Amino acid sequence: MDNNTHFQSATEKQIKDTRNIDGQDLKTLIAAALAWLKANQQYVNSLNVFPVPDGDTGTNMVLTLQAALNEIAGTQETNIGKIAHQIAQGALMGARGNSGVILSQLLRGFARTLDNYETMNAQMLVESLNEARTTAYKGVVRPVEGTILTVAKDISIEASQAVLETDDMLIILEKITQAGEESVKRTPDLLPILKQANVVDAGGKGLVFILEGMLRFLKGMPLDMPQTVVQPLSVLAQTEEVMETIEPGQDYEVVIDFKPMDTFDLDRFYNRLTEIGTSIQMGEGDGMYRMHIHVPTEKRYEPIDYVMSLGTITRVQIENLIEQMNSSGKKLTPPEINLAPVEEGQIAVVAVSPGLGLSRIFASLGAAAIVEGGQTMNPSTEEILKSFKDLPTDKVIILPNNKNIIMTAQTAASASDKQVAVIPSRSIPQGLSAILHLIPDGNFDQVVKNMNNALKDVSTGEITYATRDAVINGVQVKEGSFIAMLDGKLVEATDTLEKACLGMLSQANIEDKERITLFYGNNINGNDVDQITNLIKSQYPEHEIELHEGGQPYYHFIIALE
């Protein structure tokens, strides 16, 4: 059942009394929240601290809330306490990324106060919001202000004040939504990196969209008019090369360049595209727009007809997505990976991997299970749990290999009856360094200790391209330029891939390292890989240079320095 069907089904029952709501009312409000959050998903994704093409906060929050709604999709239960707990359980299992995990904790706290109450009044709403805030803060080891946590706290404070003036939850919702929006605007003052990047906190903004969706539904306002995200043409052209996700029924990719008429309304244009297809992206430059969309077969010419009514078309490209995938050698079902066998009593390693090449490397080093995931594709709690549930051992180590997957892995570990340890690997090189210390028959605690210590033995370089202008850590970034990260810090922005790689290496204390290992992504051709590898060899002749296919999206290179 898709999101629209969920929403239409859930909203068949209108909310008549906003002073006292039941479980079905809450179901309706969650459906409305999801619809509005999904409409603004790309906008939330665009609020990246770093100007890299892998924003996923909006996607993670949408998928987490979708899982919550799926949990109650078919129920006619009216007890609001029972419905709230089902919502929280669905969110817990579907939680993705840090923002998704925190959202699931907010819902868990919200449900705890309601317990088995039949209905909720204004005072109970306030108590639930307070407990939601408390639970979310407790779920984070080192809470950081200027994030979704701060926004949740400010919302609960406003709710406590509002209930002194009214018992109408519609009025309270108006007040806390406004308070949330004002809190989001203040996040850059609390978290300096946000001010440097000239963005607000993405998770906090997502939370406001959730409240706003409920409010818009109660006021009879539309829930399908998103804030449009427009990228520079140079960035969109590179993004198109790595868009491999094909949604069911989306058979063709259509790209149109056009010069719009003076009356062109970008938001109206984007909203119309959402009725035609998916994977919509917009680029702008030199008085021209580029539109990218995935559409079903029967609608493949509809975007062209629509654009012709709005301006002058200068280029059209239509590709059969299935053929496009096959001709490029990329298969929808990846070849089998030879995972390491594990026996009862042995230690099994679960590794999260963003590319087929990297998955094969982890498997060759002893991984018993691979979970597909990384930037823009954070796995859920349930997906991680399923990866080791049926392994014939109760000793499991998880390597998340991404800072945005660590909390999800920890949630999966706490939900399992097995002995599970999460090694907080924040990158692929850290994960590879850790798995080298795997001894399947070794002492579990000692292996975990050795893997944790191994995280310090490697530095991580990442090379990609910039999605917007920014000044971060004193580095001036231009849209479309190549940028380099070193251990999560932006250190270089330049006009060529070669300069980005060498610039990163020059700041990495490379004289203290012996080996440079490059993992190339799926958005770089073989000639460029060879050219850059040879250049690095010539610049660092005393170092051991290794090259492997990584297959990761977005990042031209992931580089391990040991």
Separation CA 501–CA 560 (nearest Å): 12
In a domain, 419, yes or no: yes
CB atoms near residue 4 (< 10 Å): 12
In a domain, 335, yes or no: no
Whether residues 279 and 160 fall in one domain: no
Return the top range by mean pLDDT from 329-333, 336-340, 356-360, 422-426: 422-426
Whether residues 483 and 510 fall in one domain: yes
Whether residues 48 and 185 fall in one domain: yes
Q: Mean pLDDT over all residues of the chain?
A: 88
524: CATH: 3.30.1180.10
Residue 331 has pLDDT above 50, yes or no: no
Which of 428, 455, 482 marks a domain boundary? 455
Separation CA 235–CA 230 (nearest Å): 10
In a domain, 342, yes or no: no
Whether residues 243 and 212 fall in one domain: no
Whether residues 368 and 432 fall in one domain: yes
Whether residues 92 and 200 fall in one domain: yes
pLDDT category of residue 226 using cuts at 50, 70 and 90: low
Q: What is the pLDDT of residues 47-73, one digit of tens each?
A: 888 777 667 898 899 999 999 999 999
Q: What is the pLDDT of residue 230?
A: 66
Q: What is the pLDDT of residues 81-136, one digit of tens each?
A: 999 999 999 999 999 999 999 999 999 999 999 988 999 999 999 999 999 999 99
CB atoms near residue 476 (< 10 Å): 10
Residue 330 has pLDDT above 80, yes or no: no
144: Cβ contacts below 8 Å, ≥ 6 apart = 191
pTM beyond cutoff 0.85: no
Whether residues 66 and 176 fall in one domain: yes
Total of domains in the chain: 4
In a domain, 339, yes or no: no
In a domain, 64, yes or no: yes
On whether the CB atoms of residues 146 and 187 are closer than 8 A, the answer is yes
> How far, in whole angstroms, is CA 287 from its chain's centroid?
31
Whether residues 16 and 96 fall in one domain: yes
Q: What is the pLDDT of residues 13-53, one digit of tens each?
A: 578 788 999 999 999 999 999 999 988 888 898 888 877 76
In a domain, 175, yes or no: yes
User: What residues does 377 pair with on adjacent strands?
Assistant: 374
Separation CA 325–CA 330 (nearest Å): 5
Q: What is the pLDDT of residues 424-482, one digit of tens each?
A: 999 999 999 999 999 999 999 999 999 999 999 999 999 998 878 888 888 898 888 99
Whether residues 170 and 244 fall in one domain: no
Whether residues 424 and 494 fall in one domain: no
CB atoms near residue 349 (< 10 Å): 29
Separation CA 311–CA 70 (nearest Å): 41
Whether residues 451 and 482 fall in one domain: no
| Tokens coding 53 | 């093409």
Name the residue with higher pLDDT: 43 or 4: 43
Which of 401, 435, 455 marks a domain boundary? 455
Which of 407, 427, 455 marks a domain boundary? 455
293: CATH: 3.30.70.260
Whether residues 415 and 488 fall in one domain: no
Name the least confident of 9-23, 202-216, 323-337. 323-337
In a domain, 338, yes or no: no
What is the helix (H) or strand (E) element at residue 420, kind and residue range? strand 419-422
399: CATH: 3.40.50.510
User: What residues does 558 pair with on adjacent strands?
Assistant: 462, 519
To the nearest 10°, the Cα dihedral for 293, 296, 298, 302? Answer: -10
| Residue 511: C-alpha distances to residues 308, 362, 514 (Å) | 58, 28, 8
What is the helix (H) or strand (E) element at residue 347, kind and residue range? strand 347-353
In a domain, 508, yes or no: yes
In b/e form, how buried is each residue of 5-19, taking b as 16+ CB within 10 angstroms?
Answer: ebbeebbeeebeebe
Residue 514 has pLDDT above 70, yes or no: yes
State the greatest distance between any 2 C-alpha atoms of the chain, in Å, as a whole number: 75
Provide the residue range defining the domain that includes 296.
Answer: 230-327
